[in-house]
Amino acid sequence: MLNVAHVRRGNLLRHRPQVILPVSIGCSTPTASAPSTYCCTWRRPGISKTPTFTIRCNSHHSHGSSDGGGARNATGSIASRSATGDSHDDGISQLQNKEDVLIIAAMCGAMGCILGGAVVYGRRDKDENEQVWWGKRGPLSLDRAIQYGPMGACVGSGLLAAMIKVLYPARVPMLSFPSTVHKLLALPLTILIAFRFQGSYERWWNSRQDLESFVSCAVQLAMLAANDVDTQLNATKEQVEQGRANEERMLGLLDAIMFYAESALMQGQDPHPANEAKNWVPEPYLLMMRPDEYQLCSEAEDPLLWCIDSYMGCIQKGQKLGLFSPESASSQYGKACELHVHLRAGLMVNSQNSPAAFIVHMRTFLFFFCFTYPFTIMMEMPWYHIPTSQALTSFSLLGIEFCSREMEHPFGDDASDLPCRKVLSETRIALRQLQKLHSDTEPSARALLHRAVSYNSHARTLRSLPPGPKHG
Lowest mean pLDDT, pick from 9-18, 301-310, 314-323, 393-402: 9-18
Strand ranges (E), 9-99? 20-21, 24-27, 37-43, 52-56, 78-80
3-state secondary structure (DSSP) of residue 466: coil
Q: Is the pTM of this model over 0.75?
A: no
Residue 448's identity, in one-letter code, is L
How does pLDDT run across 121-180, given as a tens digit for each residue? 877 777 777 777 877 777 877 777 888 889 999 999 999 999 999 999 898 988 888 888
3-state secondary structure (DSSP) of residue 451: helix
Give, in order, the Cα–Cα distances in Å from 172 to each of 178, 353, 384. Answer: 12, 43, 15
* Sequence spans of domains, the chain: 7-85, 88-143, 145-472
| Residue predicted with more confidence, 449 or 351 | 351
Q: How far apart are CA 407 and CA 462, in angstroms?
A: 28
First CA to last CA distance, the chain: 68
How does pLDDT run across 5-42, given as a tens digit for each residue? 444 433 444 344 433 344 444 444 444 444 444 444 44
Instruction: Supply the pLDDT for residue 285.
Output: 63
How does pLDDT run across 48-95, given as a tens digit for each residue? 444 544 444 444 443 433 344 443 343 343 433 343 444 444 444 445
Give, in order, the Cα–Cα distances in Å from 314 to each of 216, 246, 254, 301. Answer: 19, 7, 11, 21
Q: How far apart are CA 420 and CA 122, in angstroms?
A: 32
Give the up-direction half-sphere exposure of residue 373: CA atoms within 13 A in the CB hemisphere: 28
Give Cβ neighbours of residue 423 (< 8 Å, ≥ 6 apart). Answer: 211, 212, 215
Secondary-structure breakdown of the chain: helix, strand, coil percentages, each rounded to the nearest 5 = 60, 5, 35
3-state secondary structure (DSSP) of residue 79: strand
Res. 444: pLDDT tops 50: no
| Residue predicted with more confidence, 213 or 267 | 213
